[in-house]
């Protein structure tokens, strides 16, 4: 796709482990470029929540896969206080018309999302929906397999990571800021468990694409990460992104 004269689907792919800062970086970048921001983790979280709400055992692969195909899911940019943007959200997720944006981040969803997202049937459906969105172009897409599976020809692929301790501390601060009781040790254990599961799974495991630029932000704040990404865009690595 690179180098063609026809319009290039301009997708910036960002992958990385749990709570690595990829969502913050992706969101800031999308705003700066005027691109749509799509956090694909929220789609797997919504499938998990839908199963829990329907009383389906998350371990029942056939039932969860069937449910994911019928998922009535809407992802909308949070554009102002009227739609709740004032509460710090980056986007709004509607499941069957119900605003579940914050419920998607609950420890209960955290506990089951990795198993749900390891099912090929669930992945196939979510990837189909993600590619449909990518086709419209001008998207920053964040997840685990965007550069490797969903959009392997994305003109810029980033893999954002940080030490597990720093990631757990950031998630702990997020949870406290949202007014929840949060236990650092539990959060660290959950992050390690999910990373292990996501990296070891057979289908679309978490790993950097061969041509991804790896950014370790253990010692970088979000503004500094953005400076690095801007430098990559400016270095002509992804001319087609700038030509949109
Ligand atoms: O925000 P956090 O990094 O904790 O997680 P997330 O990005 O919301 O993703 C939640 C889970 O969904 C991950 O642990 C993966 O199991 C799964 N996921 C996936 O399999 N593929 C994606 N493209 C995005 C998320």
Nearest residue (by CA) to ligand 1, atom 4, is 18
Q: What percent of the chain has pLDDT over 90?
A: 79
Q: Which of 142, 144, 207 to mutate to test the pocket of ligand 1 (most atoms within 8 A of CB)?
A: 144
Residue with tokens 């390891």: 118
Give which of 165, 117, 170 is closest to 145, Cα–Cα. Answer: 117
- What number does the ligand 1 atom closest to the CA of 197 have? 16
β 213-216/156-161 pair status: parallel
Q: Is the confidence at residue 218, as pLDDT, over 70?
A: yes
Comparing 91-100, 164-173, 228-237, the range with the smallest average pLDDT is 228-237
At residue 217 the predicted structure's pLDDT band, cuts being 50, 70 and 90, is very high
Q: Specify the 3-state DSSP secondary structure of 232.
A: helix
DSSP classification of residue 12: E
Q: Provide the token pair at 68.
A: 């994911």
- What number does the ligand 1 atom closest to the CA of 142 have? 23
Q: Is the confidence at residue 239, as pLDDT, over 80?
A: no
Instruction: Give the per-residue pLDDT at 236.
Output: 56
Q: Which of 21, 27, 37, 41 to mutate to test the pocket of ligand 1 (most atoms within 8 A of CB)?
A: 41
Q: Is the confidence at residue 165, as pLDDT, over 90?
A: yes
β 213-216/91-95 pair status: unpaired
> Over the stretch 121-132, which tens digit does the pLDDT of each residue have?
999 999 999 999
Average pLDDT of the chain? 90
Nearest residue (by CA) to ligand 1, atom 21, is 144
> Over the stretch 35-77, which tens digit does the pLDDT of each residue have?
999 999 999 999 999 999 999 999 999 999 999 999 999 999 8
With residue 52 as reference, give the H or E element that holds it: helix 41-53
**Residue 56 contacts residue 68 (beta carbons within 8 Å):** no
With residue 157 as reference, give the H or E element that holds it: strand 156-161
Q: What are phi and psi of 146, to 5 degrees?
A: -70, -45
pTM, to two decimals? 0.90
Instruction: Give the per-residue pLDDT at 87.
Output: 80
The sign of the CA dihedral 138, 78, 29, 156 is: negative
Q: Which residues' Cβ are closer than 6 Å to ligand 1?
A: 18-19, 23, 40-41, 44-45, 113-114, 117, 143-145, 194, 198
At residue 4 the predicted structure's pLDDT band, cuts being 50, 70 and 90, is very low
**Residue 11 contacts residue 141 (beta carbons within 8 Å):** yes
240 alpha carbon – ligand 1 mean position (Å)? 28
Instruction: Give the per-residue pLDDT at 37.
Output: 95
β 156-161/139-143 pair status: unpaired
Q: Is the confidence at residue 7, as pLDDT, over 80?
A: no
């Amino acid at each position: 796709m690179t180098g063609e004269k026809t319009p290039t689907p301009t997708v910036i792919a960002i992958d990385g482990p749990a709570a690595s800062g990829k969502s913050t970086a992706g969101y800031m970048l999308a705003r700066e470029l005027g691109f749509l921001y799509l956090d694909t983790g929220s789609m797997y979280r919504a499938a998990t929540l839908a199963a829990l709400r329907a009383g389906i055992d998350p371990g029942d692969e056939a039932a969860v896969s069937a449910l994911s195909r019928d998922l009535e899911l809407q992802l909308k940019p949070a554009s102002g206080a009227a739609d709740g943007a004032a509460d710090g959200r980056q986007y709004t997720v509607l499941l069957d018309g119900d605003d579940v944006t914050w419920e998607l981040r609950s420890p209960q969803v955290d506990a089951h999302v990795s198993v749900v997202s390891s099912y090929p049937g669930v992945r196939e459906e979510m990837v189909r929906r993600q590619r449909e969105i990518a086709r419209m172009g001008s998207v920053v897409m964040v997840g685990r397999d965007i550069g490797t599976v969903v959009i392997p020809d994305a003109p810029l692929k980033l893999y954002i990571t940080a030490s597990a301790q720093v990631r757990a501390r950031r998630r702990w601060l997020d949870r406290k800021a949202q007014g929840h009781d949060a236990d650092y040790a539990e959060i660290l254990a959950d992050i390690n468990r999910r990373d292990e599961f996501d990296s070891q799974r057979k289908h679309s495991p978490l790993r950097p694409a061969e041509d991804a630029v790896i950014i370790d932000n253990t010692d970088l704040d979000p503004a500094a990460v953005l400076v690095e990404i801007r430098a990559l865009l400016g270095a002509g690595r992804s001319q087609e992104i700038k030509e949109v």
